Structure 1
Amino acid sequence: MKIIVIGCTHAGTAAVTQMAKLYPEAQITVYERNDTISFLSCGIALHVGGVVHNADELFYSNPTVLKELGILTKMRHDVLSIDTINKTVQVHNLANGQTSVDTFDKLVLTTGSWPIIPKMDGISLENIQLCKNYAHARTLIEKADTAQKIVVVGAGYIGIELVEAFEQLGKEVTLIDNTPRVLFKYLDEPFTQLVEDELTTRGVQLALEQSVTSFTGDNNGRVNKVITTAGEYEADLVILCIGFRPNTGLLENQVEMLPNGAIIVDEYMQTSCPDVYAAGDSCAIRFNPTGKQAYIPLATNAIRMGTLVARNLVKPTIKYMGTQGTSGIKIFDYNIASTGLTEQAAIDAGMNVKEITINDDYRPEFMPTHEKALLKVVYEEGSGIIVGAQVLSKVDLTQSINTLSVCIQNKMTMDELGFIDFFFQPHYNKPWNLLNQAGLQAYAMS
């Protein structure tokens, strides 16, 4: 069996390492256009902020490791086209300029995503940067060393983490986003308000509910100003964190996709084309709170999907369970996590939901310290089925969101949440766990 894997970050690395173990007789070839694999881009902000001093530590595999597994890894090879009918790929060797054709029995597309780059005046000016791969990380470190006024465009996870890193380096930071709140996709207003208060207290300028329209530069071609629908902001360095779109042009018009280009796969990671599989940020996946296909680019999803591709490559074996989009972030002293739908997202999706918000000390008040915890659980009004949750505290309670992710996965109700068996120990919680409290309050209101 001849297997070709295109792209080797999270999903690709997970897929090929499992394939090598499951199919020792197979010929596995990886084509990767970059000169590195398996880069943890979620660690870029940690590198910028000096928490991770060596960016090389953000890799968890390399071509040598794959070679030892019997995998042929062709770095700096750009796949130009795929013919799914004749099962061939055309490949350009970026090192010597030669083009060749390879054949496959099974093809796995794990080409990931790429940052959205808007078309507008000044976008090509120097010091307007992206934040995705190893090269971006190195460039950001270099540019930030001499920049003082830094503008971050996009108030999602990556944008917020970079803002924190730059603020701690003593930079003047402006955060621009077209939504009314930071982390709008992940958190409801009581949570984002605390984050915004912390940012402004530390001197970060928030420019929300406005969109960037253009950039201006100095006589040397370097960006010096960001123009938005509501004002203009001086900048020595601009980082675009607007979002990502799937890298799926190679299979355009050959497999089923969402309108944004995300490949639709079945429960076994197979596309609509036989013997062609896909995983990671190039794919749409089932979002369990709605039961619909959605584009949720997360490293955790990518690793799971890559592993499942390997398990299901020869025959359907293990079904993908879908996702809740569970994620977490640490901003200054706050530990934050969320899963499923926010209340606002549920309403926007046309769902009839209710919510319970708990703002309480996470453990008994007789303990030497007892920090506040903010927990919100969103659930369907009629059935009581849990569809989303968020938590924020200066104590790390983020694992409670993993618990609620399981609850959403299994369509548990608020009544059940109120009486789930959680341990009690004064060092960690109260006799009625915060999650129990949320369920009990919902029960009392029903």
Structure 2
Amino acid sequence: MKILIVGGVAGGASTAARLRRNSEKDEIILFEKGAHISFANCGLPYYIGNVITNKEALLLQTPKSFQDRFRVDVRVNSEVVSVNCEKKTVCVKNHDTGETYIQDYDKLVLSPGAAPIVPEMKGMAFNHVFTLRNIPDAYAIRDYVEHTRPKSCAIIGGGFIGLEMAENLQRSGVEVSVIEAASHVMAPIDNDMAHDLHNYMRAKGMKLYLNSRALAVTENSVVLEKGIEVAADMILMSIGITPETGFLKDSGIALGQRGEIIVNDYMETSVKDVYALGDAVSVRHIVSGKQMLIPLAAPANKQGRIVADNICGQKQKYRGSQGTSILKLFEMSIAATGEKEASLMSSGIPYKKVFTYSLSHAGYYPGGRMMSIKLLFSPDEGKILGAQIVGYEGVDKRIDTFANALRFGLTVYDLQEMELAYAPPFSSAKDPVNMAGYVAGNVLDGKMKPFYIEDLSSIQEEAVLLDVRTDKEFEGGHIHGAVNIPLDSLRSRLKEIDKNKKVYIICQIGLRGYIAQRILDQNGYETLNLSGGYRLYRAAEMDEKDEAEFYRNCLHCGKIIE
């Protein structure tokens, strides 16, 4: 067979390598419109920040090394500009020579990737406005930082690339402002899990403009809808990506509303002998069942392997994605897998949730730091629907455990049963994953009846808001209207609590509140326990106050746009 592959990097290159391992006889031609067929695009922010010092380290394979090893005809700077499915040909433009030619195929693989979204707003043509998607982009940004020495940078968009660039530019001595149109950065997590992240970013000296939409770019600023100018000697656009599928316009290959390529479980398009994969295709989310764009490197590599096997006669299904992801921001790690609460709500999928806080390793071993976990699960059997973690060391291995549990249909009770590696420097005898399973299981069993910080505003005045922390903790800050009876004296002071009133229990993270709930429930009280405790309430309060104060100061001192 003659097999053409459009696009390299994770999807196209992995397809080509697998095809050759499957068959020594097929003719394989790989077209890449850029100069690099396989590079570490996830490492680009760290090259710009000089964490990766050698630019050659970003090149995983060169055209020559790939050709030598896999006997693939690699044609770089060669852009496929159109596809004729009836004639089974593609039209290719060689950007080195300017020549355009027609190439026939037996099988066609589309892995064109996606391009950064560049909004239509005033000032985008300035030479201090950048996007980051490929090697030339990274070289251009690093050269600009090294030669121009900008004092400030505005990053428009608080996703993975935006925050990774925020860290690396800040480490380089640039004052960073992050502008995000949504209520919180990092779309894969929920707003309640973003409070710690926002507070951490501000503590690191970053300016954070939430619920803020950019209107225009000037020579030294970004203009916001709120009437504020954000100082910026350089600007990075990082508001998302869009599939690069314009060349398929008249091909007859079915595309979605965003231009994404529609494929079935075998990664086949609507046209016979044409396959597609990577950032340009929509795939099934394994929790919601919805078709969506999930542009991640690991799924693209898996899809490449499956496409190659299917072309060679092995019927392999791609069983969907779950969007497992992780971000490093200075010492903090933010990770997620599966669906978030907001997505479950919009899809009408029933769920329950718990918040747990655990040290990354045994409390008596020095250096442990707290990680926040949000676990989402079905209300019937407790099947895991999603997990989010914000913390420091050890976040990666916990999110991977949750991801595997979700992938293979496990429940919160299975989390309780997991036998996970334990030694004091690495974990506790009850790992954070186990603890999340125990708490979720208690909710399903009716032993722990939770309420949440969003419920506080609707609690009736006659109810009892009971804080069971110590006197010292209570004096250091508490929820308005709460009365304090420390847990260890609760049994002797039960008469102080009216049995005719519902009791809303608060402790620091929810653990002592659960113990108090068990005591009160067995003494005839009706109780609810604050999931996430005062710690989550305080993180949200600090985030909201700092955001409000920040905008008051901006509007008072900053330049207002008429």
Query: Fold-level match, TM-score > 0.5?
Result: yes
Counterpart residue number, 1:252: 249
Q: Matched residues in 1 for 2:233 and 2:425: separation?
A: 47
Q: Matched residues in 2 for 1:90 and 1:438: separation?
A: 54
AA at the equivalent of 2:368? H
Counterpart residue number, 2:541: none
Q: Please say which of residues 36-45 and 152-161 is displaced more in the overlay.
A: 36-45
Report whether the alignment pairs 1:170 with 2:173: yes
- 8 Å CA contact retained: 1:90, 1:99: yes
Larger radius of gyration: 2
- 8 Å CA contact retained: 1:55, 1:137: no
Q: Matched residues in 2 for 1:445 and 1:306: separation?
A: 41
Give RMSD over aligned pairs: 1.5
Task: Quote how far apart the aligned CAs of 1:190 are.
Answer: 4.3
- 8 Å CA contact retained: 2:382, 2:441: no
AA at the equivalent of 1:234? A
Counterpart residue number, 1:44: 44
| Matching of residues 19-168 of structure 1 within 5 Å | 19-68=19-68, 69-145=70-146, 146=148, 147-168=150-171
How does the TM-score come out when normalised to structure 2?
A: 0.76
Counterpart residue number, 1:342: 340
Counterpart residue number, 2:8: 8
3-state DSSP of counterpart to 1:111: coil
Q: Matched residues in 2 for 1:180 and 1:79: separation?
A: 39
3-state DSSP of counterpart to 1:36: coil
Counterpart residue number, 2:210: 208
Task: Quote how far apart the aligned CAs of 1:162 are.
Answer: 0.6
Q: Matched residues in 2 for 1:50 and 1:24: separation?
A: 41
3-state DSSP of counterpart to 1:82: strand
- 8 Å CA contact retained: 2:5, 2:31: yes
Q: Matched residues in 2 for 1:12 and 1:322: separation?
A: 19
Q: Matched residues in 2 for 1:122 and 1:424: separation?
A: 55
Q: Matched residues in 1 for 2:216 and 2:145: separation?
A: 21
Task: Quote how far apart the aligned CAs of 1:270 are.
Answer: 1.0
Higher relative contact order (CA 8 A, sep 6+): 1
What's the CA shift string for 1:300-351, capped at 9, x where partnerless?
1111111211111132432112111001111111122210112222223222
Task: Quote how far apart the aligned CAs of 1:164 are.
Answer: 0.7
- 8 Å CA contact retained: 1:416, 1:439: yes
Task: Quote how far apart the aligned CAs of 1:352 are.
Answer: 2.1
Task: Quote how far apart the aligned CAs of 1:47 are.
Answer: 0.9
Task: Quote how far apart the aligned CAs of 1:181 are.
Answer: 0.9
Q: Which has the higher strand share?
A: 1
Task: Quote how far apart the aligned CAs of 1:441 are.
Answer: 1.2
- 8 Å CA contact retained: 2:361, 2:426: yes
3-state DSSP of counterpart to 1:438: helix
3-state DSSP of counterpart to 1:108: strand
Q: Matched residues in 2 for 1:370 and 1:21: separation?
A: 46
- 8 Å CA contact retained: 1:55, 1:134: no
Report whether the alignment pairs 1:351 with 2:353: no
Match for 2:266 among 260, 265, 268?
Answer: 268
Unaligned runs of 5+ in 1: 217-222
AA at the equivalent of 1:200? R
Q: Please say which of residues 372-381 and 8-17 is displaced more in the overlay.
A: 372-381
AA at the equivalent of 1:21? R
Q: Matched residues in 2 for 1:18 and 1:352: separation?
A: 40
Counterpart residue number, 1:220: none
Query: Structure 1 pair 367/264, CA: closer, same or farther in 2 (3 Å)?
Result: same
What's the CA shift string for 1:120-167, capped at 9, x where partnerless?
111112211110000000010011222111110000010001111111
Counterpart residue number, 1:418: 416
Report whether the alignment pairs 1:289 with 2:291: no
Q: Please say which of residues 417-426 and 101-110 is displaced more in the overlay.
A: 417-426
| Matching of residues 181-192 of structure 1 within 5 Å | 181-183=184-186, 185-192=187-194
Q: Matched residues in 2 for 1:188 and 1:334: separation?
A: 17
Q: Matched residues in 1 for 2:67 and 2:359: separation?
A: 52
Task: Quote how far apart the aligned CAs of 1:198 are.
Answer: 1.9
Q: Matched residues in 2 for 1:118 and 1:189: separation?
A: 25
Q: Matched residues in 2 for 1:13 and 1:277: separation?
A: 14
Q: Matched residues in 2 for 1:274 and 1:111: separation?
A: 19
Counterpart residue number, 1:228: 224
AA at the equivalent of 1:35? A
Q: Matched residues in 1 for 2:144 and 2:200: separation?
A: 26
Name the % identity: 29
How does the TM-score come out when normalised to structure 1?
A: 0.95
Task: Quote how far apart the aligned CAs of 1:381 are.
Answer: 2.0
Task: Quote how far apart the aligned CAs of 1:106 are.
Answer: 0.2
